[in-house]
Structure 1
Amino acid sequence: MTVVLKPPNEQLRIDEVWLFISVDENGEGLCAGPLMGPGTLVPLVAADKVRRDALIPLAQQIAALSGKPVKVVKMSARSEEMTITPDGRPPQ
């Protein structure tokens, strides 16, 4: 299912994101949770501090249930790799 964003975006530019990462003996992985209801799994990624803070209780539940630590990692080096246009053509 595709969801069209209505209302429009609120932030002018996303320059940092927070990732919730689980850690075990084999390495790291991006945590996911049922943010859109039962049967769904959505990666725990936040583009602002309010949403980051709202995801912390879910990350705490994941850590408690899994018995593994969850790290909150801030990524702030922005590198745009491509733009995908609605019509599929390369951007001008």
Structure 2
Amino acid sequence: METLDFYRDYDELWAISGSRIVALKPEEPGTLATCKSVTRFIGGIDLETLEAGSRFCFESGKGGLALVEAPKNGDPDDFLDLTIQFLGNR
């Protein structure tokens, strides 16, 4: 049986199965090196309070790293239109 690394429960996104999420500060670059080094892990993201331009490092339970970014311009109701960029592996 396969497991998912992230789980969406209505208006929240949770890290599960050994996955991790880090909310990046605006001044932090969205690079593989940053995602490997920053350790401010959070358990989930409240999608209703997500701000435009918010960026997160997502690490799968298998070590894959991706940068996830909310649109910089747009309606808050459109925040599920996320940009996801695979960066590499830990």
Q: Same fold (TM over 0.5)?
A: no
Q: In which range does the TM-score fall when normalised by the shorter chain?
A: under 0.3
More strand by share: 2
* Structure of greater Rg: 1
Q: Which has the higher helix share?
A: 1
Q: Which has the higher contact order (CA 8 A, sep 6+)?
A: 1
TM-score when scaled to structure 2? 0.25
